[in-house]
Every structure is written in structure tokens, then in C-alpha cells.
Amino acid sequence: MIKHIVMWRVAGSSPAEKAGNAERVRAAFEGLRGRIPGLLHLEVGLDESRIDYACDVVLYTEFDSPAALDVYRDHPEHGRVRAELEGLRISRHQVDYAVGA
């Protein structure tokens, strides 16, 4: 199994605009459930801490293999989500790690 975690800060000139953009990211990624082979689990969280150095959105996913993660990266539905959210995300952090290897 491989876990793929991504965190973003989103654009917004006001707290309300940032919250709206974070919600758009959440909804877009949650729409991928059941659409990509090998994607076992998908969870999206929005930051509640409001700490100035915190990211706004986190995506936690589990895949049955590194090959399944590669399928996800290249899948048209994932590409559609990336295009839909273009410009909303101002920074991105990622960690992929194997479990039980």
C-alpha cells in the first residue's frame, strides 16, 4: 500500500474568499471517489486551526500499489480536477510513502 498526502494553501483576499476556495478544492477531490482504479481511500480536510503557517486543505489518499498511484496521477478525472482548480492553490506540499514494504 502507498499513502499520498498533499496539503495546499489557497488564494483569497479575505477569509471568506479563502474559505470558499478551500471548499472548492475539497468538493473537487471528493468527486474522485470511485472513479479511479486502485484508489482505496480518499479523505479531504479543511484546516480549523487558523494558525498563520497552517495549510488550508489536506488530501489523504491510499492506493493499493505504487502503480495505482501512477494511474491516479495520469487519470483524466484527476487532470480535470487539477485544471478546474488552477489558480486557486498558491502553495503545495506532498508526501508519498509505502506501508508494509
Query: Amino acid letter at 76?
Result: P
Could you tell me the domains of the chain? Answer: 2-98 (3.30.70.100)
pLDDT value at residue 101: 61
Angle between helices 76-84 and 15-30 (to 10 degrees): 170
CA-to-CA dists, residue 44 to 17, 41, 76, 100, angstroms: 19, 10, 20, 23
pTM of the model: 0.92
Give the three cell numbers for residue 55: 495549510
Which residue ranges in the chain fall short of pLDDT 70? 101
Q: If you search the block for the grid coordinates 478525472, which residue do you land on?
A: 77
pLDDT value at residue 33: 95
pLDDT value at residue 23: 97
pLDDT value at residue 3: 98
pLDDT value at residue 50: 86
